[in-house]
Amino acid sequence: MEALAINGGKPVRDLSQKPWPSWPVFGEEERRNLLEVFESGKWFFGEKVKEFEERFAAFQQAKYGVSCNSGTTALEMALYACRIGAGDEVIIPAYTFMATASAVVRANAVPVFADIDLETCNLDPGEAERKLSERTRAIIPVHIAGLPADMDGFRDLAQKYNLKIIEDACHSWGSRWRGKGTGALGDCGVFSFQMSKNITSGEGGLLVTDKEEIAETARSFSNCGREETAQWYQHFRFGTNIRMTEFQAAILLAQLSRLEEQTRHREATARVLDEGLRNIPGIKTVPRDGRVTRRAYHLYVFRFIEEDWKISRDRFLELLKAEGIPASAGYSPLYRNLAFHRFTDNGFPCALTCPRSGRKAQYENVFCPAAEKASQQTVWLPHWLLLAPEEEMEDVVCAVKKIRAAF
């Protein structure tokens, strides 16, 4: 039996000789666009930003795009534009990044955690329905790892209970559900362009929507409460300044020019991984859904079933990394974070503590079994690994098989 690399054996992939693709991918187009903005002296919100907004909205098959400085503020902007505010409840998945919840709190609303579908790690429409109350005003489905959530189920819920749908599409640039781009499937959706993302300018965000009123309100909110046709020092709302710069837009326009090809390549390499991993005992790949007509892979996710192995998931990650395969654990259930349990701290948002609401938000007893299990089982491979040639995915498969054979 071949010795494991962690025990001194030869790794499946020697990264000093055969590194994985680096991220971000950039080149002369970014340099040219940045220089053009620099030499123009017009660095403030202008033509590059407007061009990127239009092009990215079209890429997601939406009518309108409104940019900002991060995916987090894009969520805050979306909640504001959908008129979510004091005392409202918003259903969110327990398995997601902190911003999905913190944006709700920043809107002076209350995040309510619902469980996920363990097979996909996305919010489960049935679990979301069970958490509805007379205070519920919106649902935020998150397209984890780029896999669209069950938007048929969420749109049915929204219609039945008169709810807003705000898609957290910060992992799903290019994903499509029944041929329609994510972000444009609900009332609005938001994207992130942070450094780790599949299209990046270091930071940045954008809201897409097919609804003109939402787009106009979001634009005003992001631009200090101004309206486009009014004088500069007229303010119609209590907005904020979260505008995107021309430099960010210059980089993103170049990044967007590669996104179509990169998305298709990641889909192809992910299919190779699916084929190679799905029959290994103790490994569960994400099942395919025919309603997902294109998928962006921000992550390639599979589940490690400890009961079928003689090692823990965390030990498996160590062994995998030693073999030259970059891998990490996924999220922990969000309600475990201390932010949801330190209500006595000064400055805590009013929505969760205000006596006028008639109750104090309680998170001590929240427990979502599927989210707990996902946090113990998931293995994440980064999106840039999927940019390697298809045949190099065999290194990932071989590493998993090698570890399996050793135990």
Q: What's phi and psi for 341, nearest 5 deg? A: -130, 5
Q: Give the pLDDT score at 109.
A: 93
Catalytic residue among 26, 45, 61, 194: 194
The pTM score is: 0.95
| Rounded CA separation 263/215 (Å) | 27
Q: Give the pLDDT score at 43.
A: 93
Which positions of the chain have pLDDT values less than 70? 343-360
Q: Is residue 3 part of a domain?
A: no
Q: Are 82 and 214 in contact (CB under 8 A)?
A: yes
Catalytic residue among 171, 211, 295, 383: 171
Catalytic residue among 44, 233, 238, 359: 233
For residue 274, which of 265, 258, 285 has the smallest C-alpha distance? 285
Around Cβ 384, how many Cβ atoms within 10 Å? 18
| Rounded CA separation 328/379 (Å) | 6
Q: Where are the beta strands (DSSP E) in 88-200?
A: 89-93, 110-114, 136-139, 164-168, 176-177, 180-181, 188-192
| Residue 226 annotated to the active site | yes
Q: Is residue 242 part of a domain?
A: yes
Q: Is 341 helix (H, G, I), strand (E, B) or coil?
A: coil
Give the total number of structural domains in the chain.
1
For residue 22, which of 264, 145, 196 has the smallest C-alpha distance? 196
Q: Is residue 123 part of a domain?
A: yes
Catalytic residue among 45, 55, 61, 97: 97
| Rounded CA separation 339/29 (Å) | 42
Catalytic residue among 88, 115, 168, 210: 168
Q: Is residue 284 part of a domain?
A: no
CATH number, domain of 250, equals: 3.40.640.10
Q: Where are the beta strands (DSSP E) in 193-349?
A: 205-209, 283-285, 292-294, 299-304, 328-329
Q: Give the pLDDT score at 364.
A: 86
| Residue 168 annotated to the active site | yes
Q: Where are the beta strands (DSSP E) in 282-350?
A: 283-285, 292-294, 299-304, 328-329
Buried b (16+ CB within 10 A) or exposed e, 134-165: eebbbbbbbbbbbbbbbbebbbebbeeeebbb
User: Which helix (H) or strand (E) covers residue 116, if one does?
Assistant: none
Q: Are 297 and 267 in contact (CB under 8 A)?
A: yes
| Residue 194 annotated to the active site | yes
pLDDT tens, position by position, 256-305: 999 999 999 999 999 999 999 999 999 999 999 999 999 999 999 999 99
Q: How far is CA 324 from CA 70, 278, 327, 374, in A?
A: 32, 20, 9, 24
| Residue 310 annotated to the active site | no
Catalytic residue among 219, 226, 298, 402: 226
| Residues whose CB is less than 8 angstroms from the CB of residue 116 and which lie 6 or more positions away in sequence, other chains included | 93, 94, 95, 122, 123, 124, 127, 368, 370, 371, 374
Q: Is residue 55 part of a domain?
A: yes
| Rounded CA separation 298/243 (Å) | 25
Q: Is residue 364 part of a domain?
A: no
Q: Is residue 88 part of a domain?
A: yes
Q: Is residue 185 part of a domain?
A: yes
Q: Are 296 and 198 in contact (CB under 8 A)?
A: yes
Catalytic residue among 13, 137, 155, 197: 197
| Residue 171 annotated to the active site | yes
Domain of 71?
28-255
| Rounded CA separation 48/228 (Å) | 17
Catalytic residue among 48, 164, 176, 243: 243
